[in-house]
Amino acid sequence: MIEGTVKGFLGTPASFGADLNLTVQLIMGLALIGGAFLARAKRYAAHGVCMTTVLVLNLVPIAIVMLPSFAQLVVPELAGHLHKRFYLVASVHGALGAGAELLGLYILLVAGTNILPEAWRFKRWKLWMRVELALWMAVLLSGIGTYIVWYTPLLRP
Amino acid sequence: MKSYIGTAVFCVGLFGAVASAIIHGGPIARAAEQKSAAQSVSIDNFSFTPKEITVAAGTTITWVNRDDVPHTVVSPDKKFRSKALDTDDQFSFTFTDAGTYSYFCSVHPTMTGKIIVK
């Protein structure tokens, strides 16, 4: 849960952990866009370092902030409350996020290692990486949406 | 004449019985008792209302979440802690000892409240 006794710094009722997580995610999103431009400039080594760093670093907030939050606040109420936007937006974000992180790890294994057998390795690099970047941006947007629904009393009907 | 007196006695008796029931054990008295023994705090629009409340020892406070997002009611010194309260969920705690009890929502730490028990 993005719980805590320390108040956040973005001027909403959110905790410090929630504000820090949003800020880190926005920085990571910008880093991924920067990484895409590195590939466009054919600086593939720098591109690989940038994307891998973001992908692996993102496992930390997933493990200590987002996953516990989802398990504690959303999962117990999910069965009968998915129509409520609090649960819906978090579930969409969680599903897209899980997909983006797993796809990213798969791409990392294919592009950065020789662990996977030939049959499991893709050839169309640009397609897979563009799909991953688009998915990540969708995750980022749904994450911003989750923050707004969970933590801002403004913009309510 | 006798019938008038009988009717008057009956009416006075009925009035007295009704008045006695209302004063000593009727709905008004019961409501007053309930009011003194239990109080509620509403959670709405990311705030506790009333934010501060003074009650007698032994009072049970019930928090009701009227908001459309879950909130919690947590004592920083771990005297009480609710689960995540969804819309219309309630959490109750009985304050047996005098003192000042601060609490907050752990999901939204800017939401704070205080119970003063005398």
Give pLDDT tens digits along chain B (118 positions). Answer: 445 455 545 544 554 444 444 434 444 444 334 445 679 999 999 999 999 999 999 999 999 999 989 999 999 998 999 998 999 999 999 999 999 999 999 999 999 999 999 9
The pLDDT mean for chain A works out to: 91
Contact yes or no for B107 and A7 at CB 8 A = no
Sheet of B52-55: strand order equals: B52-55, B112-117, B99-104
Amino acid A8: pLDDT: 87
Q: Is A130 among the domain residues?
A: yes
Tokens for A149?
Answer: 């629904």
Q: b/e for B50-60, b at 16 or more Cβ within 10 A?
A: eeebebeeebe
Q: Is A8 among the domain residues?
A: no
**Residue B78 one-letter amino acid:** K
The contact set of B with A (CB < 8 A) is 45-46, 68-70, 72, 76, 84, 86-87, 104-111
Give pLDDT tens digits along chain A (157 positions). Answer: 445 578 889 989 999 999 999 999 999 999 999 999 999 999 999 999 999 999 999 999 999 989 988 998 899 888 888 888 889 999 999 999 999 999 999 999 999 899 999 999 988 889 999 999 999 999 999 999 999 999 987 655 5
Tally of structural domains, chain A? 1
pLDDT digits 0-9 by tens, A106-135: 999 999 899 999 999 988 889 999 999 999
Tokens 């979440």 sit at which residue? Answer: B65
State if pTM tops 0.95: no
SS3 state at B40: strand
Q: Is A9 among the domain residues?
A: no
Q: Is A143 among the domain residues?
A: yes
Amino acid A7: pLDDT: 85
Tokens 């902030």 sit at which residue? Answer: A65
Query: Containing domain of residue B49, as a range?
Result: 3-117
**Residue B74 one-letter amino acid:** V
Alpha-carbon distance of A27 to A40, in angstroms, equals 20
Q: Which of B69, B78, B88, B103 to mutate to test the interface with A (most CBs of A within 10 A)?
A: B69
Q: Is A2 among the domain residues?
A: no
Q: Between B46, B86, B109, which is nearest A15 by CB?
A: B109
Rg of chain A on CA atoms, in Å: 17
Q: Is A3 among the domain residues?
A: no
Query: Containing domain of residue A114, as a range?
Result: 16-151
Amino acid B13: pLDDT: 53
CB A47 within 8 Å of CB A31: no
Q: Is A146 among the domain residues?
A: yes
Amino acid A130: pLDDT: 95
Residues in chain A within 8 Å Cβ distance of B87: 84
Q: Is A10 among the domain residues?
A: no
Q: Give, to the nearest 10 degrees, the angle between helix A85-112 and helix A44-57.
A: 140
SS3 state at A96: helix
CATH of the domain at B106: 2.60.40.420
- Assess: ipTM above 0.90: no
Asked if A112 is an interface residue toward chain B (Cβ–Cβ < 8 A), one would say no
Tally of structural domains, chain B? 1
